[in-house]
Amino acid sequence: MLDKIKLVVAFLLVVAGIAGFYYLHESAAVLKLASVLVGLLLAAGVAWTSEPGKRFFAFGKDSVAEAKRVVWPTRKETLQTTAVVIAFAVTMALFLWAVDASLMVVVNKMMGRGE
């Protein structure tokens, strides 16, 4: 139950930050931005103390670690793959255009419109 209360408080802090943004509509942009950021930071702090918040932040940390282990393709591999995809898309577009034009000719002949 305590975790739910913490999450509700975190949500209310986000809402307060956004409300502060609109309350300070005639103030400098820096103050409006600071209002939202303070609300978000306080909400993150409160949410982090709850069990779901701790699991979420642990998941984020694990995700970053996993992304660091990924073997990303080289620039050459990326360019080659992109070229293959573009060539395939152009080939399919030409094929579909040819099929469409052929069917249009056949239908026009059947309807007696073409010569």
What is the predicted pLDDT for the residue at 65? Answer: 94
User: Which pTM does this prediction carry?
Assistant: 0.52
Q: What is the pLDDT of residues 49-95, one digit of tens each?
A: 888 888 988 999 999 999 999 998 999 999 999 999 999 999 999 99
**Quick one: which of 35, 29, 45, 31 has its CA closest to 15?**
35
- pLDDT surpasses 70 at 96: yes
Q: What is the mean pLDDT of residues 33-47?
A: 91
Token pair 């918040």 is found at 53
Q: Tell me which H or E stretch contains 5.
A: helix 2-23
The CA distance from 96 to 46, in Å, is 56
Looking at every residue in the chain, the average pLDDT score rounds to 92
